[in-house]
Amino acid sequence: MKNKVSVLFLLAGVLFAACLLISNILASKIILIGPWSAPAGVLIFPLAYIINDVIAEVWGYAKARLIIWAGFGVNVLAAFFFMLAISMPSAPFYEDQAAFQSILGSSIRIVFASLMAYVVGSFLNAYVMSKFKLMTQGKNFSLRAIVSTLAGEGADSLIFITIAFAGIFPIPVILGMILTQALLKTAYEILVLPLTFQVVQKVKSIEGVDTFDENISYNPFRLKEI
């Protein structure tokens, strides 16, 4: 029974991967939020960080690390099949190849930027959340969630926007996009903190689990604890 996999843990992992996949598709559009520009992925991507917080808080960093790598695999798989579908000949009656390619045919540069930003940001978010939990003995969940999101979202926004748009948009626009995206995602997290806290408490009570990672290591490739 020791290795029994929790249904809630699996559900959280599926939702995490789904949010990532959707956000990467939305990122092909740049939207205006007030006077600021940001990739449309900002609409859903914060949900992935909230789920990341829940997983790290309840099941610990080792389990969060596993889910992060699973999300990475899902996105690599999606990118591969998007490119495969685009490269295959269209049926004679299919007239939307250009639109299909425009939405799903992100350049190698965008895919690389997205994956690098995701890996660094997600691991940083989970690590900070778990490390602070150990330091505070499980107290101050709200503060830990905000600080971990600032660290993760800040790194994610900086890496993605820089790699994806450097040399394409003017530097002031890029800096504005980085700041806007990071602040909006963090504001989103703060806004839904009461709900996140309730979800965490409910999951802990159902699972009977409240993991504290002793001697936690940031190393993303260390999976032997699982």
Res 15: pLDDT: 92
Question: In which element (H, E) is residue 38 found?
Answer: strand 36-39
pLDDT on residue 225: 53
Percent of the chain residues past pLDDT 70, beyond the cut: 90
Instruction: Look up residue 195 and give its amino acid.
Output: L
Q: Catalogue the long-range contacts made by 186-192 (C-beta closer than 8 Å, 24 or more residues apart).
A: 186/146, 186/149, 186/150, 186/153, 188/46, 189/46, 189/49, 189/50, 189/53, 189/145, 189/146, 189/149, 189/153, 190/146, 192/50
pLDDT at residue 1 in the model: 42
Cα–Cα distance for residue pair 71/198, rounded to 1 Å = 24
Tens digits of per-residue pLDDT, 199-217?
A: 888 888 888 887 776 666 6
Mean pLDDT of 93-109: 82
Question: 111 in a domain, yes or no?
Answer: yes
Half-sphere exposure in the Cβ direction for 53 (13 Å, CA): 31
Those residues with Cβ within 8 angstroms of residue 100's Cβ, 6 or more apart along the chain or in another chain: 85, 86
Kindly state the helix (H) or strand (E) to which residue 220 belongs, with its residue range: none
Grade residue 21 by pLDDT with cuts at 50, 70 and 90: confident
The per-residue pLDDT for range 112-135, each reduced to its tens digit, is 888 888 889 888 888 888 888 888
The string of pLDDT tens digits covering residues 142-181 is 888 888 888 888 898 899 888 888 887 888 888 888 888 7
**Average pLDDT for residues 191-196, to the nearest whole number?**
84
The model's pTM is 0.80
In degrees to the nearest 10, what's the CA dihedral of 199, 15, 50, 133? 70
The mean pLDDT of 77-106, rounded to a whole number, is 88
Specify if 32 maps to a domain: yes
221 domain residue, yes or no: no
Does 16 reside within a domain? Answer: yes
Let me know: does 130 contact 216? Beta carbons within 8 Å. yes
* Number of domains observed in the structure of the chain: 1
- Domain holding 172, by residue range, is 7-89+96-207
Q: What percent of the chain has pLDDT over 90?
A: 8
- In the prediction, which pLDDT does 14 show? 92
pLDDT attached to residue 214: 61
120 within domain boundaries: yes
Decide if 102 is inside a domain.
yes
CATH number of the CATH domain containing 193 = 1.10.1760
pLDDT of residue 183: 81
Q: Is residue 216 part of a domain?
A: no
| CA end-to-end span of the chain | 14
* 219 is a domain residue: no
Looking at the predicted structure, is the pLDDT value of residue 88 above 90? yes
